[in-house]
Amino acid sequence: MIWLIRSAMCAFFPRTPELPGVADLGIDAFLQRYRRETSRLVWTGLILGTLVFTLTPLFTIGVPLPSFLLPRRALDRHANKIAAHPVYVLRQAVFLVKMIGGLCWGSHPEVRKLMALPPYPPDPGTYRTQ
């Protein structure tokens, strides 16, 4: 399931000439850690949001393929349309995928450096023990 979540997050955070994409920033390790540290309910929501993203290109761009088989331009159109879909439940399910992908992307030292921000200090790992 991690590969499917990664595929959806990479559609929302692609590499550009100026900025790295989420695929360049250790998304697999981030998702493994996130799965260990998050609640079952949030992880289930992430999976459901990923499934919504994967299975809805037919409704957003009229192509009967799962998102991971779409060409780059069609995938970009699908990501934009599902993120702004008029049906609230679909939009919110996909927002969870974008939010967690944004946590990985925005907290990475390389991205923070490009944004002229200092890197975050190492995670002390105290949240669950205090």
Residue with tokens 């790295």: 20
Cα(76)–Cα(92) distance, rounded to whole angstroms?
Answer: 18
| Global pTM exceeds 0.75 | yes
pLDDT in tens, the chain (130 residues): 899 999 999 999 999 999 999 999 999 999 999 999 899 999 999 999 999 999 999 999 999 999 999 999 999 999 999 999 999 999 999 999 999 999 999 999 999 999 999 999 988 777 665 5
What sign does the CA torsion over 11, 16, 18, 23 have?
A: positive
Cα(6)–Cα(124) distance, rounded to whole angstroms?
Answer: 26
